[in-house]
Structure 1
Amino acid sequence: MKRILILLFSIILIYSCNKTEVHNDYGFYYWRSTFNLNKNEQQTLHKSKVENLYTRFFDVVKQNDQFLEFGVININKEISTDKKIVPVIFITNETWFNIKPNDIQFLADRINDRINRIQSNNLLNPANEIQIDSDWTASTKNDYFKFLQTLKQVSKKNISCTLRLHQVKDKLQTGVPPVDKMYLMCYATSSPLENQTKNSILDVPTLKSYLRNLEDYPVKLDIALPIYSWGIVTNHLGKKKLINALTAEELMQNKNFKIINENNFEVLKDDFYYGLYLNKGFKIKIEEIAEKDITESLNFIDEKLDYPFNIIYYHLDERFTKNYNTLFQ
């Protein structure tokens, strides 16, 4: 009996050790318009174990039936990293509205050509993967899925895509993309432009509600988690705008802002701040992500998935990474 108990204990111990290693490896998205890492960012990236850096190359929108590229990345010629670069292309869901079959082929060819030009014109180490980020819906899924298949045929590369929380919850309606790998975006749990007290970047109870049946999702996932922040500005009429990368620390150090409570501030003087003209009396709500919320989200997902997955943090920027040193050991 004693030998049986020892054997059972050993099995449990081995299983527990394996579970703690499920999300041991982490990497990063890079989402700035200029590819340029400072020394601290290079060190943070070098310590990460995931071999890829998921780098936004450009966005695609459709205007007047024309496909337009916005925000094409500018790459510092002297940049060096040992990571392979995975191009990430954001495509608006509106792009798929009333798209024709020949337009799908045209778009796949054009995106592939643009990626190849960016890579060949710069000293990049390309991965054999292209990632597409698009918030498809039940009405656009067929055309979007056809595009993913077409891009794979054109590029001869592995095609991955992002997965949003509502697409997990409503997978019977939104469908499952024809790809081998997906990246679950565990953020944007609600709209920052709504009137609410929840953190719109990551509210853990909301995330758990959306992912209650995550174990049933049929495609293997890596997990994208947020480490960014922003400020939600509300004017006198209740209209809202975002200031990206704003922190409570910055506002507390500025005499032109009055703290209302831990994350809410009031503008004391009319002036330009962080790219916007703000009037006295405007309110700013800061949304940042506590490390405990990241840990709780990971523990929940870990219990749902029975296979190893990587964590991809959004995104690589010293303004954010400096606040999560224990995550990047």
Structure 2
Amino acid sequence: MKYLKLFFVSILIFLFSCNNKKDHLYGFYYWKTRLSLSESEKTALKKAGLPYVYTRFFDVDKIDGKFQPVGVITKDKSFETAQQIVPTIFVTNRTFLYITKEEIHFLAKSVLDLIQKKTAEYQLKNSGEIQIDCDWTAGTRDDYFAFLQELKKISGKEITCTLRLHQVKDKNLMGIPPVSKVYLMCYSTSSPLENSDKNSILDVRILKNYLSQADDYPIKKIEVALPIYSWGIVTNHLEKHKLINALSDKDLDNPDFRRISANEAEVMKDGFYFGHYLNKGFRIKTEEISDQKLREVVDFLEEKIPQFNIIYYQLDSKFVTGRNFNF
């Protein structure tokens, strides 16, 4: 009888934990210059629970002292989705170096004007939100924050922004952006161009260290951006590195490669591989993120953030086909 009671108690605990498992709606970032959708990408969007797709419109940089839009989007007829578009703008940190108050207003108006122009030109169904992506620093934070406030003032939209891991850990130095919602970028935990045995896309140990005090972050509305992309890091004879996007472990199954480990190989024959000319002796290391690693991150964040949606970076047939997005 004693063991029978323990059995039923165990069952009840299991059922209780299952019933209290948090559900997370999910969506995608779209980060290509030409807006187009393959059938697999359309299928992924239809399955997504969030009614938004976070779409990069253009970058902003300061070149020769002048603000310049870079990589402005174009669109073809295949880009059709029921989701609303959230215009997402990447702004370089140097854009805010030595910027004046008048230039902040000019920059905010120029960004809004170009968003509105592209929205009208391509008949996009935009949401009431504009997201700004910037890796601001302690030296640019005040001007960047002023830009966010000015953009909100002149647009009448909800202005949100991305939040990098170091900006959480060093919040007293980096400041708190004047927005009601942030998007926590849970990737790029280290540089892929350094000699390291870590996964530069996402090292869970590093992430946990940076976010150990995330539950104390003043902005409570936090969405979570998780990586589903992959790449290959090529190292030449001089130990110089370059990236080849969208490579995975299976791409190393090539008769011209010699396997070094599960995710590393050496080129044994000069030739073109993945659109790049690689010499014999070059090494390729692939980095990708498993569902198990994403699950570990989600479990950790559930202890820090009461409720959050997940935005996967990024929507691409190479990364969404056959993937499980329900965590």
Correspondence for 1:321: 320
Whole-angstrom distance in 2 between the partners of 1:98 and 1:76: 38
Structure 1: how far apart are the matches of 2:134 and 2:112?
16
Please name the residue that 2:284 is paired with: 284
CA distance in 2, matches of 1:87, 1:61: 17
Q: Deviations along 1:243-283, whole A, 9 cap, x unmatched?
A: 1111221231x333222110111122223333433211111
TM (norm. structure 2) is: 0.92
1:233 aligns with 2:234: yes
Alignment of 1:66-81 (within 5 A): 66-81=66-81
Write the mapping of 1:128-207 to structure 2, written as runs, cut at 5 A.
Answer: 128-207=128-207
Separation (CA, whole Å) in 2 of partners of 1:327 and 1:63:
39
Post-superposition CA distance 1:51-86 (Å, at most 9, x none): 110001111111111111111112113421110000
Single out whichever of 62-71 and 200-209 deviates more from structure 2: 62-71
Match of 2:106 in 1: 106
Distance change >3 Å, CA 238–CA 155, structure 1 → 2: same
Matches within 5 A, 1:1-329: 16=17, 19-21=20-22, 23-219=23-219, 220-252=221-253, 254-306=254-306, 308-324=307-323, 326-328=324-326
**AA partner of residue 76 (structure 2):** N
CA contact (8 A) 2:37 2:78 kept: no
Quick one: structure 1 residues 101 and 83, their matched pair in 2 at CA, closer, same or farther if it must change by over 3 Å?
A: same
Corresponding residue for 1:3? none
Structure 2 unaligned regions, length at least 5: 1-9
> Does structure 1 conserve the Cα–Cα contact (< 8 Å) formed by 2:268 and 2:280?
yes
Aligned residues: percent identity? 52
Shift of 1:96: 1.1
The alpha-carbon deviation at position 230 of structure 1 amounts to 0.5
Superposed CA deviations along residues 145-165 of structure 1, whole A, max 9, x for unmatched, are 000001111211110000000
| Aligned position for 2:5 | none
The answer to whether the Cα contact below 8 Å between 2:26 and 2:325 also exists between their aligned partners in 1 is no
- Residue deviations 1:36-62 (CA, integer Å, cap 9, x gap): 111121111111111110001111111
What SS class does the counterpart of residue 199 from structure 1 fall into?
coil
Across the aligned residues of Structure 1 and Structure 2, the Cα RMSD in angstroms comes to 2.0
Distance 1:19 1:296 in 2: 17
Deviation of the 1:203 alpha carbon? 0.6
Q: For the structure 1 residues 131 and 192, does the alpha-carbon distance in structure 2 shift closer, same or farther, using more than 3 Å as the test? A: same
Distance 1:17 1:176, change over 3 A: farther
User: For the residues of structure 2 that align with 1:294 and 1:150, how far apart are their CA atoms?
Assistant: 36
The whole-number CA distance in structure 2 between the counterparts of 1:241 and 1:96 is 28
Do the aligned partners of 1:265 and 1:285 also contact (CA within 8 Å) in 2? yes
Task: Give the secondary-structure state (helix, strand or coil) at the position aligned to 1:148.
Answer: helix
Q: What is the total number of aligned residue pairs between the two structures?
A: 316
**Which residue is equivalent to 1:5?**
none
Cα distance change of structure 1 residues 35 and 328 upon mapping to structure 2, 3 Å threshold: farther
Q: What is the TM-score normalised by the length of structure 1?
A: 0.91
CA deviation profile, 1:205-257 (whole Å, cap 9, x unmatched): 111000000100111100000000011111111111111111221231x3332
Decide which moves more: 262-271 or 224-233: 262-271
Q: CA–CA distance in 1 between the matches of 2:318 and 2:204?
A: 23
Q: 1:12 to 1:160 in 2, by over 3 A?
A: farther
Contact 2:38 2:78 in 1 (8 A): no
- Matched position secondary structure for 1:152: helix
SS at match of 2:325: helix
Letter in 1 for 2:305: L
- The AA in structure 2 aligned to 1:68 is Q
Could you tell me how far apart the structure 2 residues matched to 1:19 and 1:33 are? Answer: 41
**In the superposition, relative to structure 1, how do residues 238 and 177 fare at CA in structure 2: closer, same or farther (>3 Å)?**
same
Is the Cα contact below 8 Å between 2:249 and 2:263 reproduced in 1?
Answer: yes
Aligned residue for 2:303, secondary structure, equals helix
The Cα of 1:12 is off from its aligned counterpart by: 8.5
